[in-house]
Structure formats: C-alpha cells, structure tokens
C-alpha cells in the first residue's frame, strides 16, 4: 500500500426521524432519544483522498459537484479539527474531499445526515486501512463521529430502523452513537414507504442548529424531553407489535410537537407553509375515508414525508398523483423505501 496517499469512498443515505431529536445537552448529545429509519434513495457520495504531509494539523480542499465549496469547507474544517482526537493521522494529512448528492438538484434539499455519515465512514475506512480500527468497532465509531458532525447523521450509518440516545427502554443504547434495532421490528414496517412531497425547495429560514439552541431557554423544554423519552419507549413497543394505528397516532403527534416547539420558542418561527397544512389535512381525510395507514411526518422544514406500509402503496401513490401533486413545488415528490444503509464504493 502507498502510505503517502490513501483513499476511501462511501455512499450514505439520509434518514427520517419518527421520534424527533430536538434539543441538545453538552456537546452534540441529545436531550432525548430518537428513532428513525434510513432512506434508500436520498444519498450522498463522498470520496476522501488523504495525502501525507509534514504535520501541523489537518488541511482540506472540498469539492461539491465538482466545484470547490469554501462555505462548506469551513464547516468541515471545524469538524475535522475535532476529529483529530479520534483519527490522529488527520494531523499529518491533507484531505481532498469530493462529494455529491443523489437528491435531484431541483428538489433543493440537502442533508447533513447523509453528508456527515458519508464523510465519517470514509475516515473510518482510512483508519481501517492504517490498521487502527477493527471490523467489530467500525460502525460504532462511524456513528460516533457522524454525530459529532451532525446529530441526526449518527442514525444513517446502518440500514433499517435505528435508535440514538441512552434509554432504559432498550439495553445497549448510548447518547454517543446510534444502534440498529431491526431485530425487534415487525415485518409490516420493514419495507415502509416515505414519499417526500417537496412543498418548498431552498434554504430554510432558521437552521436546525439554531432551532436546537433555542431549546436551551424554551419554556416547554423539560416537558418535551420527558415526552421524547416516553414516545421512544412506546414506539419500541409499537415497532415490535406491528400496531399500525398506534404508529400513525404517535408519529404524527411527534411531528406536530416538533413544529409546536418551533412556534413556541423564545424567538418563535414557523417552517410550515400553507401547502404543508393543506397536505396534512388531505392525508388525514383520506385516511379517515379509506381506513388505510398512511400518515405524515415532518422534518425541520416545510416538506411533508408521507409514510405508508408497502401493501398499501398502490392506492397511496394514486392518491398522491390525483390529490397531492398540485401542492408540490414543480409537482416534485421523491419516493423512498426503508433503505439497506450505506455502501462502500471501490476506489
């Protein structure tokens, strides 16, 4: 192996939270546990080329879609300087990072979860090539460092369903990294669908990092954290039993609580748009009329994630085409299924 130059590449997905992470304690630790599933199509591909230097700390060049991106480079450099404690070789390497998303450009969505998990996986692969990381510890370390980059990213290093945050409801959980919970998940959830309805593309008015920070002085923060713990424990039971009605109720309540927290922050803000609410009402009406198990969840933005079991997907997709597409910007929506997790790319 040429040790003056080492490279690694990974394709890593985004994920959608069912119980939400909203509020931090300490540095990048969650105030309550969260549960998500990994998506199959919304991914970032990242390639890292590490060139040996004389030392003096990590340096980097970052190319996004082939073009050097200075704004992202500054954010990444801050992360990499922290990562020097976990990847000591970084101190004597110059990194050339090339990254691109598989989200359609026209969707205007980007994901810190897919980009930071892809980067952390590349760093772990290089660690492994240097003989510093065992197979057994690989994904735990990747999740740990994804979390340092962006909290929700730690849930993206595995496929299927994942839990991040220490909870007495499940042994082996941690605030520092996510764990995969597929072995408790009922088959009805295994191929769940997530259709992302693009209500509005483009940059959000308030970043998630700012939103998290507002919880520090939020009047309802303690209540929220208790609810997050309780909903995590309840969702674990639901995922095990396959109770779809209870799933619908809990996941929609979590999404609305997230946005209610934004609207009741010390500096209040609203990320939903009129079409977000119109779509939510349509989804709930259609569910009441048909008895199907379609439901919505929301991320920190205006777009709606429409979730449903695989065996109801034909009817849900017809409903989207006839009733919902008109509310989507440029008629855009992205169809995802529970994903298998990141893939290593041969370099």
Q: Which residues bind ligand 2P0 (CB under 6 A)?
A: 17, 20-22, 28, 34, 112, 150-152, 208-209, 212, 258, 299-300
| Spatial distance between the Cα atoms of 296 and 167, rounded to a whole number of angstroms | 25
Map residue 242 onto helix, strand or coil. coil
Are 272 and 302 in contact by the 8 Å Cβ rule? The answer is: yes
Could you list the beta-strand ranges (E) of 20-107: 24-25, 29-30, 34-52, 59-64, 67-68, 93-101
Beta strands in 53-82 (DSSP E): 59-64, 67-68
Q: How far is the CB of 39 from ligand 2P0 (least distance, A)?
A: 12
**Smallest gap, in angstroms, from Cβ of residue 221 to ligand 2P0?**
15
CA quadruple 167, 173, 174, 178: dihedral positive or negative? negative
Q: Which is nearer to ligand 2P0, 117 or 337 (CB)?
A: 117
Query: Whose Cβ is closer to ligand 2P0: residue 227's or residue 345's?
Result: 227
How would you list the strands of the sheet with 193-197, edge to edge?
295-298, 304-308, 193-197, 333-337
Q: Between vectors from CA 125 to CA 119 and to CA 126, what angle results, nearest 5°?
A: 95
Cβ proximity to ligand 2P0: between 44 and 208 the closer is 208
Show the CA angle centred on residue 66, arms to residues 62 and 67, nearest 5°: 65
User: From the CB of 258, what's the least distance to ligand 2P0, in Å?
Assistant: 6
Nearest CB to ligand 2P0, comparing residues 11 and 155: 155
Closest among 246, 241, 270, 242 to 256, alpha carbons compared: 270
Decide whether 44 or 150 has the Cβ nearer to ligand 2P0: 150
| Structure tokens belonging to residue 184 | 């408790």
Those residues with Cβ within 8 angstroms of residue 312's Cβ, 6 or more apart along the chain or in another chain? 292, 293, 294
Smallest gap, in angstroms, from Cβ of residue 300 to ligand 2P0?
Answer: 4
Report the DSSP pairing between strands 34-52 and 24-25.
unpaired
Q: Report the residue number, 42 or 49, with the smaller CB distance to ligand 2P0.
A: 42
Three-state DSSP string of 117-159: HHHHHHHHHHHHHCCCCCCCCHHHHHHHHHHHHCHHHHHHCCC
Nearest distance, CB of residue 30 and ligand 2P0, angstroms: 8
Which residue is closest to ligand 2P0 by CB? 151
6 vs 43 by CB, closer to ligand 2P0: 43
Pick the closer one to ligand 2P0 by CB: 112 or 125: 112
Minimal distance, residue 34 CB to ligand 2P0, in Å: 5
Q: At closest approach, how far in Å is the CB of 254 from ligand 2P0? A: 9
Q: How far is the CB of 126 from ligand 2P0 (least distance, A)?
A: 23
| Closer of 141 and 212 to ligand 2P0 (Cβ) | 212
The distance of closest approach from Cβ of residue 122 to ligand 2P0 in the complex, given in angstroms and rounded to an integer, is 18
């Amino acid at each position: 192996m040429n040790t003056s130059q080492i490279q690694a590449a990974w394709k890593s997905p985004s994920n959608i939270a069912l119980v939400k992470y909203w509020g931090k304690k300490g540095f990048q630790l969650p105030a309550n546990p969260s549960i998500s599933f990994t998506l199959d199509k919304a991914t970032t591909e990242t390639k890292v080329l590490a060139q040996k230097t004389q030392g003096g700390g990590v340096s980097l060049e970052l190319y996004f879609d082939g073009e050097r991106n200075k704004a992202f480079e500054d954010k990444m450099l801050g992360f990499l300087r922290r990562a020097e404690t976990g990847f000591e070789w970084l101190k004597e390497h110059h990194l050339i990072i090339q990254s691109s998303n598989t989200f359609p450009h026209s969707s205007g969505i980007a994901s810190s979860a897919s980009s930071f998990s892809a980067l952390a996986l590349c760093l772990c692969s290089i660690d492994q090539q240097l003989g510093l990381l065992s197979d057994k510890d690989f994904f735990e370390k990747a999740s740990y460092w994804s979390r340092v980059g962006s909290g929700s990213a730690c849930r993206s290093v595995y496929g299927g369903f994942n839990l991040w945050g220490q909870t007495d409801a499940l042994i082996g959980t941690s605030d520092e990294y996510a764990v995969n919970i597929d072995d408790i998940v009922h088959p009805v959830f295994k191929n769940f669908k997530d259709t992302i309805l693009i209500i509005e593309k483009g940059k959000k008015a308030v970043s998630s990092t700012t939103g998290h920070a507002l919880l520090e002085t939020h009047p309802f923060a303690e209540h929220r954290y208790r609810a997050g713990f309780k909903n995590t424990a309840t969702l674990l039971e639901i995922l095990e039993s396959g109770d779809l009605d209870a799933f619908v109720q809990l996941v929609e309540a979590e999404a609305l609580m997230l946005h209610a927290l934004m609207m009741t922050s010390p500096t209040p803000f609203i990320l939903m748009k009129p079409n977000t609410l119109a779509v939510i009402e349509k989804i709930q009406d259609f569910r009441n009329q048909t008895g199907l198990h379609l439901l919505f969840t929301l991320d920190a933005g205006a777009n709606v994630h429409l979730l449903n079991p695989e065996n109801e997907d034909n009817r849900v997709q017809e409903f989207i085409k006839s009733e919902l597409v008109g509310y989507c910007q440029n008629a855009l929506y992205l169809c995802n299924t529970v994903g298998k997790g990141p893939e290593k790319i041969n370099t």
